A and B are shown apart, each in its own frame.
Chain A
Amino acid sequence: MRVGLFVTCLVDLMRPSIGFAALELLEAAGCEVYVPPTQTCCGQPGYNSGDRDAARALAEKVLAEFEGCEYLVAPSGSCAGMIKTHYPELFADAPSLRARVERLAGRVHELTDFLANVAKLEKVPGELRGRVTYHDSCAGLREMGVKAQPRALLAKVPGLALVEMGECEQCCGFGGTFSVKFGEISGAIADRKCEALEATGADAVVLGDLGCMLNIEGRLRRRGNEATRVLHVAEVLAGKTGKR
């Protein structure tokens, strides 16, 4: 199975270890992983800021980079969702491009969805002693149907106990540029997420998107919570939770 790994721009810049964790998981699942060296961003910042032309140009770039792969996998529901659900609409007026984009869109998966449903990963390399809670990221949940997959995979991690938080499907308040344009509102929404996850008494909150990760971790620390770890699901599954 030839799988194209789209690490996403945030992983590239902020947490390369998550990219490598995803890579190892895909390899553990028996995939031949191809990482296009020219990959940058899926175009979402432009798309959500109303700059359709920029989004389109980047969509064409991603298309060219990943068209040859059997699957495109990203450790992010948000970026995968952009490609799967929004790219086709960007090419409404260009039938031939649209057809190509739709063919790609049908093969796009968020990492845990791919591991659980396509690669059918049986044994996960990771191990984690402790209680964790899972935050459902908006795009992963509502665009990619990611809900049971990460939980099923986490259940295979030796030592890990999952405790659900209240309103785990509630947005953390990140919202891309929203987090900067409306920092105070975004922080206040993040506060509610922090309260919900702290109430579980979990040692760590696990999630599948960098945006939420930075947002929740940033707010937890500002609130003075130094204890609760914020981990990407790929790190937990690959057993790469040692250092940041």
Chain B
Amino acid sequence: MQVHSMHFKARAGNALGDATLQANLQKFGSAGLAALRARAVEAYGHAAFERLRDAGAQIRDRSLADLDTLIERFEREATRRGATVLFARTREEARDLVLEICRRHGLKKAVKSKSMLSEEAGLNEALAAAGVLPVETDLGEYIIQLAGEAPSHIIAPAVHKSKEEVADLFERAHAKPRKTDIPEMTREAREALRTHFVSADLGISGGNFLVAETGSGGIVTNEGNGRMVTTLPRVHVCITGIEKVIPTLEDFATLMRLLPRSATGQPISNYISFFTGPKGRDDRDGPEHMYFILVDGGRTNLVGTDMQEMLRCIRCGACMNHCPVYKTVGGHAYGWVYPGPMGSVLTPSYIGLENALDLPHAATLCNQCGVVCPVKIPLPDLLRKLREKQVDRGLRPWSERFALRVWAWAALHPRIYALGAWWAARYLRFLGGGLKRITKLPFAGRGWTLTRDFPAPQGKTFRELYRKRSGGA
């Protein structure tokens, strides 16, 4: 997928000016997934859910600490059960491996269940170019594929679209009378997809987790499409990140108590599907060939570093559902596969700090994300670390660095600082005039007064008033 993360600010500006998008985001914000999560946590019990989050974080930490041996174990167990395990160092290698599998088996049509890694690798474009028709079968993914767009949310990819926009898309794609009743629209999409399920020769799925002890992949879906994708076509490819390996099925069960609750507020998702190797001799269903592609794509660069906690991520989307910035500008503004707080950490980590300069700063550090993360990733801390790395690598504009230097120097010299504050209090008070507010601030302050007034200061500093009060000079 093309990277547009350098243009966050411009894209966010467009999003703010897009009335339809704003209306859709407003709907998402008020009646959205955050409220459903809150209800689910309430029902589970806050204290118990906290313990569950601790357990989830521990499982992920243990898995990451042991990642090399876990991957080997997974490979051994999966291979023993007849699957082929492949490794890709880069997203491009991952794409090439899928294309190679298509050539080897002469595959022509791929049905896909949701996979963010497929987005990372730009798989759909590559498949189409190689003459393999990719069909997204997750309803949200299906919608945005029809629209020719990228997902704007990791679990609700079409959340930026209204029912009316989807109705228009379906009318064109299905060549049937326009419908706006959601169950009817869903039925129409199911009918369209069914022909693809039975005619596809390749199924591509993601993998929420890979279980080392059994060599299985597991996916979580609500529509059942994942089960079709992984059982009907004669070849199944599961493509996922190497960090998704966990030790045991027991661990999977624990994480499964966290994931749907955090994502959609469901105690359990409608479907949890496991795949362990291809169809056995006595099995009636299942693929003849089963591949796992484990992709690095920048992940090992984080292992053993101060950013490793990010690899705990189980892709629930809770951080973006609770993010004031995401809820205001939507996912496309972030410019690559992963939006919201987790995206603002992952994108610079995967595609390079210098290719996503705005993202670590595009957060108020309100820590709504941190307190809802099911595996306790300290997202604001990680964003701050990325900011530090930008400073260390000289990636911040000179004006910002200069201003910070001057401020820090002054703040360390109380007399000089007092003088500056004395002057600023009076100057800003003067600018505030009779209404005591400034409608246009100079220099960097312009950013503030684009959308807000700046309330003027009272005119004298606390320190000078306090000194007078206590009888000092």
State the A residues within 8 Å of B (CB).
7, 9, 11-17, 19-20, 35, 37-41, 43, 45-52, 54, 57-58, 61, 138-139, 142-143, 169-171, 173-190, 192, 213-215, 217-219, 221-222, 244
Cα(A185)–Cα(B361), bound, Å: 12
Q: Which chain B residues in 402-459 approach chain A with CB under 8 Å? A: 404-405, 407-408, 410-412, 414, 417, 421, 424-425, 436-437, 439, 444-455, 457-458
Given A40-B414, A45-B407, do A222 and B16 touch, yes or no (CB 8 Å)? no
A185 touches B404 (CB 8 A): no
Q: Which residues of chain A are near B408, meaning CB under 8 Å?
A: 46, 51, 54, 57-58
Task: Tell me the nearest residue of chain B to A166, going by C-beta.
Answer: B30
A174, A217, A218, A244, most chain B CB atoms within 10 A: A218
Q: Is the CB of B411 within 8 A of A43?
A: yes
Residues in chain B near residue A183, CB distance under 8 A: 446-452
Residues of B within 8 A of A51 (CB): 388, 391, 404, 408
| Chain B binding surface SS class | helix
Complex contacts, A174 vs chain B, CB 8 Å:
364
Chain B nearest Cβ from A44, distance in angstroms: 10
19 contacts between A and B (CB under 8 A): A11-B462, A12-B421, A12-B462, A13-B425, A20-B466, A39-B414, A51-B408, A54-B408, A139-B367, A142-B371, A171-B368, A173-B328, A182-B9, A182-B362, A182-B447, A192-B328, A217-B453, A218-B437, A221-B452
Q: Known A13-B424, A185-B325; judge A218-B448 contact (CB<8 A).
A: yes
Q: Which residue of B lies closest to A138 (CB)?
A: B366
Contact between A50 and B391 (Cβ–Cβ < 8 Å)? Answer: yes
B387 to chain A, nearest CB (A): 3
Q: How large is the interface on B (under 10, 10 to 19, 20 to 34, 35 or more residues)?
A: 35 or more
* Chain A residues whose CB sits within 8 angstroms of the CB of B444 once the complex forms: 180
Contact indicator B445/A190 (Cβ below 8 Å): no
List B375-412 residues whose CB lies under 8 Å from chain A: 384, 386-392, 396, 400, 404-405, 407-408, 410-412
A13 to B389, CA, bound (A): 31
**B452–A215 CB distance below 8 A:** yes
Q: Is the CB of B417 within 8 A of A40?
A: yes
User: Which residues of A lie under 8 Å from residue B325 when comparing CB positions?
Assistant: 182, 185, 189
Contact present for B451 and A188 (CB under 8 Å): yes
CB–CB A49/B365 < 8 A: no
Q: Are A185 and B329 in contact (CB under 8 A)?
A: yes
Min distance, Cβ A64 to any Cβ of chain B, angstroms:
11
Interchain CB contact under 8 A, B455 and A214: yes
Q: Which partner residue on chain A sits nearest B429 by CB separation?
A: A14
Q: Is the CB of B387 within 8 A of A50?
A: yes
Least CB distance, B404 to chain A, in whole angstroms: 5
Given A12-B463, A13-B424, A19-B466, check contact A181 B447 (CB 8 Å): yes
CA A185 to CA B460, docked complex, whole Å = 31
In angstroms, Cα B425 to Cα A181, docked, is: 22
Known pairs A138-B366, A221-B453; A181 contacts B361 (CB<8 A): yes
B367 adjacent to A142 (CB under 8 Å): yes
CB neighbours (8 Å) of B411 from chain A are 9, 40-41, 43, 54, 58, 61
Looking across the interface, which residue of chain A has its beta carbon closest to that of B404? A51
Cα A12 to Cα B417 with chains together (Å): 11
Known contacts A16-B465, A189-B364; A57/B16 CB under 8 A: no
- Interface contact B462-A20, CB-CB below 8 Å: yes
Contact of A15 among B329, B454, B457 (CB under 8 A): B457
Given contacts A14-B425, A180-B448, A182-B325, 19 further A-B contacts (CB under 8 A): A11-B462, A13-B425, A16-B466, A19-B462, A37-B463, A43-B411, A48-B387, A57-B412, A58-B411, A138-B364, A138-B365, A180-B444, A181-B361, A184-B12, A218-B453, A218-B455, A219-B452, A221-B452, A221-B453
